[in-house]
Amino acid sequence: MTATMTVEAPWLLFGGKLLFDPVSRALLASTLVIWGLAAWSAARTLPADERRPGHFGFFGLVMGGNLIATVAGDPVTFFLGYALLGLCTYPLIAYDRTASTLDSARLYLVYMLIGEGLLLAALVLSWSPPGGGTFPLHLDARWLALLVLGGLGVKAGIPGLHSWMPAAYRATPSAAASALAGATISVAILGTMRLGLFLPDTGVPSAAWVLLGTAGTLFGVVRGLTRSEPEHVLAYSSVSQMGIAITVLGARLTGGTSDAAVLLAVTAFLVHHGLAKGSLFLGVGLVRDGTLARLPRAVVLGGLGIPALALAGLPLSSGSLAKTGLAEATHLVDYLEPFLVVSSAATMMLMLHFLETVVAPTEPSPRRAHVSAAVGPWAASVVSVLLAVWLWPDFRPMARTALRPENMVHALWGPSIGALIWLAVTRTLRRGRRGPAGPSWVERGARVLTARWEGWLGRYRETRPALRQLPTSARRSLRHAAVDFEGAVGSLDRYVGTWTLTGTLFLILLLALSRLL
Amino acid sequence: MSWADLLPPFILGSSLLPGLVIFFLPESRRTLRTALNLASACLKLVAVAVLMAVVATGGQPRWEWSLAPGFDLALQADALSLLFVTLSAGLWLVTTVYAIAYLEGAPQRSRFFGFFSLCVSATVGIALSADLLTFLVFYEILTITTYPLVVHRGTRRSLAAGGTYLVYTLSGGVLLFVGTAWLTALAGPVDFASGGATVDTLIHEHPGALRAIFALLVAGLAVKAAIVPVHGWLPVAMIAPAPVSALLHAVAVVKAGAFGILRVVYDVYGVQAATDLGVLTWLAGFATITILFGSLRALVQDDLKRRLAYSTVSQLSYITLGAALATPLALTGAVVHLVHQGLMKITLFFCAGNLSETLGVRRVSEMAGVGRRMPWTMRAFAVAALGMIGTPPIAGFVSKWYLGAGALSSGDGWALAVLVASGLLNAAYFLPILKTAWFEPARKAWPVSSGRLETSWMLLLPPLVTAALSLLVGVCAGVDASPLAWAGRIAREVFGP
């Protein structure tokens, strides 16, 4: 199954093109699974009130945008899907209509609109009329790469552009959040691959991408460890996981790797991440509405633990397939091997922290009244995490490699190190403490470690009120400037409005013209 | 003279004569007036379709009528004029339906619909003008026939607004007149079909005079096209009844200005001469300032129609900007935006009219929760507003994309930045409206609807049709019969394949 198929739709916009290659095929399938499970869960959990039809309407639109962007074969079609997905997500986040959800949704939308503006500029820049260009586009300038990065980085949550993510995932009902966090985020990385962001033509050195990706990977984990809301932890985990994808894609520039193999491995990674993250969000939804409290603890831990540990890349999990794939595809880049081990260890710590936050009693959610029967979709999602990537035909070679004994042993390293560190740290620091109240140990440790980060990036919580003031004050000064100008124009209006002046002016003008003629 | 040559005057007359008849109908003859209005609007649309078929098969219908020795009124159909005629004929029909419902029971309807028809006739005359002189005549007629529509309510405010409108547009008319007279004195009658050949022969002898004439012509047109700093009449004129505002902002007056600028740049001067004279840079500069200024002003307006009016100021200059960038892609974007902006803006004004007519809502701050009470109106509004922002696949995205690509192909990357910035500003003043309407709870109980629908079907249908069209022309931009394909054809005629 390596054949590539394109479907042309010349009537659509400036000539639409759909591309079905191993990359889009796998993502299309996983996207459908994630959205299908999310829809199943939403149908079971959302109360039958007046918001329900609208929620499902936009649910469908976002899914449609997601699917279009996934199989898009040219920049315009991709933008069509991406913009649809980006805009229609707002009502999903704003579902509750409370002030804080509306705030989260607005924060999201502002980021997304700026991102889409940048992306639009980049796509127009790289479009070749008429008939539309084909992928991959060859970007020829670093600043063009910057536009694409800014445009898609918002959705992928690269550090600095990620601030909307935790708030948005917390505000969105869990079913929709599982689709947003699982499926839509992959579109951003897919877009960077399709648009050739990580090609030598951009003139951006490999090291820049690797640094950016590594920063994202570590930043996500460290910030996630300081949070106690499960949705926030998962959001930071996404920041971290997308960092891994960026690092690998950037490292490919160093040479010695096969493009097709790297792209396929990154695809497997996105599929694995999407399914696991989607499943975790469905699980968090069940924690929030109190359903999991009624299930046996082993079931709960198993159901949440399987996707969580898959993200860390435990042997036999989907993560081990994805990470072995990444390592295999980039085996000539020597620093990636230790990077992947470290990232696995870090993810393991974050996931253990996540499990701790969900198993610890959380505040009851406002949606608690509608106790769900959404265990079905959640269970199905866990099964999909267990099996999907192993069964997908295009990933077979990676599966065989991952199942080799030496690779399975190798895959144990990262998670074991992570687990040991986490256990050691929590044990030591927790000794002598009474009661579960207060931030966990790891949280406090990580806070100390991240003080520096907090200084310029992570402090957004503290600076947000000020930032929120900023648009208001900027708007105010803009308004003053515009009013002043308008005032000046208005007084001009009044002068022009007096016929005497106008008449005189025309007389002078006519005299002057008669001289010229 | 073949029968096809009579099509342009027939299309003109199809609204002119019924308009004149309507003046003499007593107020009480509602059915006859309505029938006459709708029949003539449909007849015009059919005639336009026939004309389109004639032009598509290579015909060039032309009709001349000598007013005085050396002064002929000449009508001719080419690709650009047909595009504008189709737009005005199509939107006239929906606006007529809307106006009939909107003015139900209001006084002075015969006067209103009489001038309404004359106004459209003048617009069609502008579109079909074959030379600068004919254009000037219809341009002035348009000014005069629109005035009674602006002041229709007869209140002090609307009379004052009408005064402002007249001062601006008549001053603009004088400038245009002087420019036309001067150019005719220099070069003889200026036929649009020559594509600038007349001016080309003079460029070495009279470059200064040609620049001055360009400034006069464009300044005259800029008043109607609402280019800063002569835009002041437009936000004031929104006092007019909603159907008038809709027609004013989408087809008739402002478009006449933008269309005139296209004619002057491409058919009077020609791209080469205009570029050589260096006048296009100035035009682009003014357009840019207008785009940003209009958006910034729109941001702070609470009155819905005022916000829409400033949005028109901004969006219209996309057309001027595209004309000034002078590349095939930019011209395509400019011409297609003529149609796209019309469809989207008329939808927005219809919706604003529905809100004020049905619920008495005129301010953005009063719109909380209005989405639940008038869902279809607000859906149409949302489509048009998102289109204005430039969201694919709605019409505005297509215009913006071509304008942006056109900017790059002429080496003016800054214009792309302007378009993106303007898109963000559009989002900043349109999205809060949508949020208020859909996501905030209603602050008071709305007046209950009398029928099954949220308002009269004749008020509801027009915005739904135009919103659907905005979506359709965007999604199917790649089809041969789309406005985009048509605009591309016009650009190819100007620049060669």
- Contact residues, A window 129-168, toward B, CB-based 8 Å cutoff: 129-130
Bigger pLDDT: A199 vs B118: B118
At residue A278 the predicted structure's pLDDT band, cuts being 50, 70 and 90, is: very high
Average pLDDT, stretch A434-438?
A: 47
| Strand B62-68, strand A5-9: pairing | unpaired
pLDDT at A190: 92
Choose the mutation target among A116, A128, A147, A514 for the interface with B, i.e. most B CBs under 10 Å: A116
For tokens 């993560």, name the residue.
A319
- CB contact B212 to A (< 8 Å): yes
Supply the Cα-derived Rg of chain A in whole angstroms.
26
pLDDT at B179: 92
Average pLDDT, stretch B432-461?
A: 85
The per-residue pLDDT for range A26-41, each reduced to its tens digit, is 999 999 999 999 999 9
* Pair A289, A367: CB distance under 8 Å: yes
Spell out the residues 6+ positions from residue A428 whose beta carbon is closer than 8 angstroms to its own.
Answer: none
- CB contact A83 to B (< 8 Å): yes
For tokens 């390592």, name the residue.
A327
Least CA distance to B216: which residue of chain A?
A509
- Contact residues, B window 28-87, toward A, CB-based 8 Å cutoff: none
Q: What is the DSSP letter of B190?
A: -
pLDDT at B252: 84
pLDDT at A212 over 60: yes
Q: What is the DSSP letter of B255?
A: H
pLDDT at A369: 42
pLDDT at A133 over 50: no
What's chain B's average pLDDT?
Answer: 89
Chain B partners of A102 at a C-beta cutoff of 8 Å?
A: 435, 439
Lowest mean per-residue pLDDT among A24-28, A370-374, B149-153: A370-374
pLDDT at A461: 52
Average pLDDT, stretch B376-404?
A: 93
The per-residue pLDDT for range A406-415, each reduced to its tens digit, is 888 888 888 9
Contact B393 A97 (CB under 8 A): no
Share of chain B above pLDDT 90, in %: 45
pLDDT at A449 over 90: no
The per-residue pLDDT for range B196-226, each reduced to its tens digit, is 777 888 888 888 888 999 999 999 999 999 9
- Contact residues, A window 484-513, toward B, CB-based 8 Å cutoff: 485-486, 489-490, 492-493, 496-497, 499, 502, 506, 509-510, 513
Chain A partners of B164 at a C-beta cutoff of 8 Å?
A: 493, 497
Contact B475 A12 (CB under 8 A): yes
pLDDT at A136: 41
Chain B partners of A129 at a C-beta cutoff of 8 Å?
A: 329, 405
* Pair A353, A225: CB distance under 8 Å: yes
Lowest mean per-residue pLDDT among A115-119, A359-363, A373-377, B163-167: A359-363
Among B139, B173, B491, residue whose Cα is nearest residue A129 = B491
Q: Is the dihedral of CA B405, B410, B415, B416 positive or negative?
A: positive
- CB contact B393 to A (< 8 Å): yes
pLDDT at B94: 93
Least CA distance to A485: which residue of chain B?
B293
Contact B423 A475 (CB under 8 A): no
Going through A174-270 in order, the beta strands assigned E by DSSP cover none
Contact A80 B393 (CB under 8 A): yes
pLDDT at A134: 41
Among B323, B234, B315, B329, residue whose Cα is nearest residue B284 = B323
pLDDT at A253 over 80: no
B131 bridge partner residues: B191
CB pairs under 8 A between A and B: 119
Among B69, B71, B86, B106, residue whose Cα is nearest residue B11 = B86
Among B464, B471, B469, B474, residue whose Cα is nearest residue B351 = B464
pLDDT at A50: 82
Average pLDDT, stretch B355-371?
A: 89
Chain B partners of A9 at a C-beta cutoff of 8 Å?
A: 478
- CB contact B416 to A (< 8 Å): yes
Shortest distance, CA A457 to any CA of chain B (angstroms): 25
pLDDT at B461: 93
At residue A502 the predicted structure's pLDDT band, cuts being 50, 70 and 90, is: low
The per-residue pLDDT for range B114-144, each reduced to its tens digit, is 999 999 999 999 999 998 999 999 999 999 9
pLDDT at A434: 46
Lowest mean per-residue pLDDT among A159-173, B190-204, B424-438: B190-204
Most confident of A61-65, B36-40, B269-273: A61-65
| Strand A5-9, strand A16-20: pairing | antiparallel
Least CA distance to A479: which residue of chain B?
B300
Bigger pLDDT: A26 vs A138: A26
At residue A132 the predicted structure's pLDDT band, cuts being 50, 70 and 90, is: very low
What's chain A's average pLDDT?
Answer: 80
- Contact residues, B window 419-458, toward A, CB-based 8 Å cutoff: 420-421, 423-424, 427, 431, 435, 438-441
At residue A436 the predicted structure's pLDDT band, cuts being 50, 70 and 90, is: very low
Going through A97-229 in order, the beta strands assigned E by DSSP cover none
Contact A11 B229 (CB under 8 A): no
pLDDT at A183: 93
pLDDT at A483 over 50: yes
pLDDT at A180 over 90: yes
The minimal CB distance from A127 to the residues B232, B405, B479 is found for B405
pTM of the model: 0.87
pLDDT at B295 over 70: yes
Distances in whole angstroms, Cα of residue B431 to Cα of each of A111, B53, B293, B315, B390: 14, 41, 18, 16, 12
| Domain residue extents for chain A | 5-45+58-459, 473-516
- CB contact A124 to B (< 8 Å): yes
At residue A2 the predicted structure's pLDDT band, cuts being 50, 70 and 90, is: low
pLDDT at B422: 93
Contact B392 A91 (CB under 8 A): no
* Pair A68, A45: CB distance under 8 Å: no
**Angular region, A76: left φ>0, alpha ψ -120 to 50, beta rest:** alpha
pLDDT at B70: 74
Torsions phi, psi of B323, nearest 5?
-65, -40
Torsions phi, psi of A18, nearest 5?
-110, 140
Contact A517 B185 (CB under 8 A): yes
The minimal CB distance from A129 to the residues B297, B299, B405 is found for B405
Chain A partners of B183 at a C-beta cutoff of 8 Å?
A: none
Chain A partners of B293 at a C-beta cutoff of 8 Å?
A: 482, 485
Shortest distance, CA B141 to any CA of chain A (angstroms): 21
What does the alpha-carbon distance between residue B21 and residue A315 come to, in Å, rounded to a whole number? 87
Average pLDDT, stretch B34-58?
A: 89
Chain A partners of B441 at a C-beta cutoff of 8 Å?
A: 97
Chain A partners of B405 at a C-beta cutoff of 8 Å?
A: 124, 127, 129
The per-residue pLDDT for range B71-107, each reduced to its tens digit, is 788 999 888 999 999 999 999 999 999 998 888 878 8
What does the alpha-carbon distance between residue B334 and residue B127 come to, in Å, rounded to a whole number? 16
Shortest distance, CA B144 to any CA of chain A (angstroms): 17
Query: What six digits make up the tokens of B255?
Result: 């478009």
